[in-house]
Amino acid sequence: MGCPNQQSEVVAVSGDTKGCSCAPPKTSSAFMVNSEIGAVLAVMRRNVRWGFHYTADEDQLDHPLITSFKEIRKQVFSWQHHWHTISPVIYLQPFLDVIQSDETSAPITGVALSSIYKFLTLEVLDMDTVNVTDALHLIVDAVTSCRFEVTDPASEEVVLMKILQVLLACMKSKASVNLSNQHVCNIVNTCFQIVHQAGSKGELLQRTARHTMHELIRCIFMHLPDVCDNNQDFTPGGRSHSGDEASIPDEDHSSASKPQDNGYTGSKIELAGGPLNLSTNIPEVKMDHESTGDVDQSKTHQVAEPYGVPCMVEIFSFLCSLLNAVEHVGVGPRSNSLTYDEDVPLFAFGLINSAIELSGPSLGHHPEMLALVQNDLFHSLMQFGMSPSPLILSTVCSIVLNLYHLMRVKLKLQLEAFFSCVLMKIAVNKHGASYQQQEVAMETLVDLCRQPGFYSRNSAFPVNSPLSAIHVLALEGLIAMISGMAETMGDGDQIPVLEPDASNLEQREAFWNVKCESYENSDCWVPYIHKMKHIKKKLMIGVDHFNRDPKKGFQFLQGSCLLPETLDPISVACFLRYASGLDKNLVGEYLGNHDQFCVDVLQEYAKTFDFQEMNLDIALRVFLETFRLPGESQKIQRVVEAFAERYYGQSPNIFANKDAALLLSYSLIMLNTDQHNTQVKKKMTEDDFIRNNRRINGGNDLPREYLSELYHSICENEIRMTPEQGVGFPAMTHDNWVGLIHKSRQTAPFIVCGSGEQINNKMFAILSGPTVAALSVVLDLVDQETVLQTCIDGFLNVAKIAGCYHLDDVLDGLLVSLSKFTTLLLPMSIEDSILAFGHDSKAQKSTLAVFTIANTYGDYIRSGWRNILDCVLSLHKLGLLSARLGHDAADELESNSDDSVRSSLVNPVNPHYPQPGSHSGSWADSVSFYTTIWKNPLRNLLKNRLKLRNGQRKSLTSSLLNLSRALILASHEDENGAVFCLELLITVTLNNRDRIMLLWQNVYEYIANIVQSAVMPSTLVEKAVFGLIRICRRLLPYKEELTDDLLKSLQLILKLDARVADAYCEHITREIMHLVKANAGQIKSHLGWRTITSLLSITARHPEASEPGFETLEFIMLDGAHLLPANFVLCVNAARQFAESRVGDVSRSTKSLDLMAGSSVCLVKWSREAVGEEPETALQLYQDIGEMWVRLVQSLRKVCIDSREEIRNHAVLMLQQCLTGLDGIHLQDDAWVQCFDSVVFPLLNDLLEIVEEKSVKEYRNMEGTLILSLKLLSKSFLHSYRVYPVRHCLVKYG
């Protein structure tokens, strides 16, 4: 009796068949149909009813169902050659008749359903099939109205599963696009009924039904992005999507016992019982023509046309209505979690989430769908978000995350409400949430923080309690936000900080009228955001003043240009309406005041509301949600009159006059008090309410249905007259939700920031403080290595962003916090510090981070330099740094530097500190860590990064000054630290030569203080003196305007105590020699050369320093290489000091005299150069040259009386050379007169006195000197006689 073609009785719901083609050849379709006919007839013959007719009554053999199959069987093979012209309705009809027949049993119906499923999945019906639309419609109609006799529960479940199979195959078929809106709704409705009925069936049917429902929703909504625009005009007439309040479908509690019109004769779909456990009616998907009697032609066309937006709107509304129905069971934090059923909301939310995921952004492109999401769906999400079930909360959060990703631009206020009233409330445990709920909420917040452009400043970190998984999640969220912001910036990027135009901020402008010209153009919305931020800051202050004293609040707002100088009702009304944070009690009292100005303000206040297309109770909720209704009857009357007048003006078709609106508004307020005041024992009934409002509409009654709707709205949802004034997260009441929906129509849109750097600096300024504080708390409590590294990475990202935006206060605060974890600032002994530091991974990572931040973002550090230097000094005290790390890299190239002055960096560990003892492991760990930081940030910091960049910026100037001051302050602790800080200060000065003008005064004063207070040689004094010389030597080539100041500073060396100067004289002289040789060409001024020659003159009588001193002087004077009018006399005097000095051999004195005499060549050269100058200039030059010549011969005269014969005689010869051998020099008339008066004659007199008074032993061979002197006199006189007129000489000397 079996049939080989019969399919299995239990067939799983098919998967997606669109990815492959199972279409048979068209010639095989006839055989396939014939095979399925045989299968159905075979099963029918097994039935007793059908078998009896075959054997007993020949007249009854041809039953209509069997006859129809036989007729098709006769013709089917004749169609195979022109199968494409055959309407599928012909061969499908017998199968559909069996499916709808009351006489067939479950096995027969199951086989027929299997045949239809086979035709659909093997693509016997495709887009090219003739009349395929009618065929699909007939299949859906037949399957959704399937009837059969139930013979056993197993067969019934098989049939129900096959119904699901066929309906899903219809939707997955390529020809499903031809299904009408109504048929798609019927498919969904039937599947949901099976889902509901499956509760009393087997587990397999339950799971299959729910899976099929999900697949149907996916199939339907995946086409939403592709639907035609002509479907977008459809608006269901049976529901309102105005966004006023969440609609709940009408309930019919008696329907649970009624058979369904399209149900099963033998196996009806029961709507009560089962695991869904609903106390209300299950909503159905219905198109308009099912719920209304009058259907116009256009709606009929929309119902019958290929499915699109209309059916999707209905299906989505149906899914939302499932949640509305469940809400009556009671969802909230006080619900009994043991009796609460999670099944229905989880199932509904799962379907909704599938619809959202498949629809994508297209969900917000259709007004009806958008209205459902904004109102119905989000209201349910808000309600179920407070569910005690973590599973429901997780599902709700997944949907919200998807909506944020896809539709955040159109869900601004709804998302804000969910974040503040649900997520934040649960995450910080403000309403007794369980740990699991907190974890789900925090995970959602972390997922949101991972989205680009999402920022939240709320944190959930303890102060004195251990870290939990919640805190680790919160840390991940913080790091995700900061990392996302840091990733938008390249390494070392300097992002310009965009500040608002200050001229636009102080203009007197109505803040409620400030608009953005384009929310898509960043050139428009970025200034708009800055301006609104500035306005909000002042507005918050004004609101605070108003809440304490309204009069003072208005005065402040007028002074801040937020209100006009002369208050008017419109401006005051708009302030009360749109300013956030106002005390609603004060607003209500002000609006109810009898003063005429307040009455005018009340009228204007009411005009700010848009009550169009709102029911009276909704409008009243929106109005009263913004303030507290005053308690006095007269004030209440004025307020309600203003409301009624505004409502009537916008809804004139509802009431006959404004008095009717006034009376009914009063009546609603009284009803609200009656229904929700616990002291009222006898509550007003619906009939009482209707009776109380008779003939108020211009002598006529209002529609009973209208009044009944108002009555139930007030009874079910109280109008709260006492608004919440507390701080923290608000509760989302029904009135608050209604007000939010109303406000969402007027609020500015969500701005998608495509160029975050334009406002990220402001966002980061808000986030940085809480972020650093939170990271510090976690770092203080954390022990896990991974979390520790996460915190350190967070600090580095904060530093990166702060550096890019030049936020020095953030960097300073970060360094203060981070340096506390280095343990380097704790007062411990060296051994204990090394022990603690060597084993403490947190301290080592924190230290490395401090130096990395200083090395990378030092340009923007201010007071934080002190913390950095404290860490460096601590490492130095521990013996982990050498005593001389601060020298700049350039000094390493100076091979002439004395090793005693500059120590090397061969061994980084200071040998002067204790070496490892019993704690050798800790010492080794510390040295190993030091090696790490020495190779990376610390070496760069101390050698290179102390050079700040981009000195044109004001911020960098401030950073440099703070660094230098920090170094000076840190040097006062001990001598070793002072030496180290001095080295660093000198390095900073040298590396920032372009900004030396900023540093020089502080550096000079500090070094001067060290030098002048020194009484004994010390390392600090040595570093100060030679550091000063190094600064001068390195900076002279680059800072011409600072040359005099630099050289003048070297006069500090002249002020050294004798013992100190004697100890360092040779080394000082050698440094001066290097300075002069390297920078002689840059020294131009008399002041500078006076300092140099003074230092050189001192060395003339020092045994060790005289040699480098004379070498330096010889370098200057030899062949007049570096002689100038500014230093001629100074060098001659210095040379005289060496000539007179008895330190060294006689040849040095002789060389000195030669240098003096040779310098006269420069006078000849300068005299010749003066010939081409202007007469006045030339005259002045000749006069100056004459004076220098006189000073030269005067200096030589002083050496001519030296006690040493060789020096004395050589000096006379050199003097004679200077007097008679300078033919090219141009001297003034009186120069020779002065020369004889001050040089020649005094020389002879001095020599005669020596001969007469001094002993021969002291002055040997004076006769030879006298002879040379007389020759000098005669030759000089003759030379002057030749050069000058005779009369002058005779008159003077005759």
> Which residues are designated catalytic?
632
Question: What single-letter DSSP state applies at residue 732?
Answer: -
Comparing CA positions, the residue from 121, 122, 115, 174 lying closest to residue 142 is 115
Q: Which two three-digit tokens encode residue 1105? A: 């320093």
**Residue 72 neighbours by CB under 8 Å, 6+ apart:** 33, 37, 90, 91, 94
Q: Could you give the CA distance from residue 1136 to residue 1156 in angstroms, rounded to a whole number? A: 8
**Cα 300 from chain centroid?**
53
Determine the 3-state secondary structure of 180 from DSSP. Answer: strand
CB 824 within 8 A of CB 508: no
Amino acid of residue 876: H
- Single out the residue of 188, 175, 204 nearest to residue 286, CA to CA: 188
Q: Quick check: 778 and 475 in contact, CB under 8 A?
A: yes
Q: Tell me phi and psi for residue 180, to 5 degrees.
A: -85, 165
3-state secondary structure of 455: coil
Q: Please give the helix or strand (H or E) that residue 792 lies within, else none.
A: helix 785-804
Q: Which two tokens stand for residue 55?
A: 């054997």
Cα angle, residue 297 at apex, residues 294 and 302 outer, rounded to 5°: 105
- Report the distance separating Cα 1194 and Cα 1174, nearest Å: 30
Closest CA to 324 of 404, 380, 277: 380
Q: From residue 516, give the alpha-carbon distance in Å to each of 576, 638, 1269.
A: 22, 36, 100
Q: Which two tokens stand for residue 1119?
A: 């062949």
Which two tokens mark 893? 């190239």
638 to each of 122, 444, 585, 672, how far by Cα in Å?
A: 74, 47, 16, 19
Q: What are the percentages of helix, strand and coil residues in the chain, rounded to 5?
A: 70, 0, 30
Nearest to 542 by CA among 582, 502, 514: 582
Q: How far apart are the first and last CA of the chain?
A: 169
Secondary structure letter of residue 266 according to DSSP? S
Q: How far apart are CA 117 and CA 382, in angstroms?
A: 42
- DSSP state for residue 946 in the 8-state scheme: T
Are 460 and 471 contacting, i.e. CB atoms less than 8 angstroms apart?
A: yes
Phi, psi of 486 (to 5 degrees): -70, -30
| Helices within 328-377 (DSSP H only) | 343-359, 367-371
Give dist(CA 1031, CA 1276) in Å, integer: 48
Which amino acid is it at 1226? H
Contacts with 47 (C-beta within 8 Å, 6 or more apart), sequence order = 105, 107, 108
Tokens of 716: 């079910």
Task: Using alpha carbons only, give the angle 521, 524, 525 rounded to the nearest 5 degrees.
Answer: 85
599-612: b (≥16 Cβ within 10 Å) or e: bebbbbbbbbbebe
C-alpha to C-alpha distance for 107 and 811, rounded to whole angstroms? 79
Pick left, alpha or beta for residue 1261 (phi over 0 → left; psi -120 to 50 → alpha; otherwise beta).
Answer: left
The amino acid present at 1147, given as its one-letter code, is S
Alpha carbons 531 and 537: distance in angstroms, whole number: 10
Q: Crossing angle, helix 181-197 and helix 132-144, to 10 degrees?
A: 30
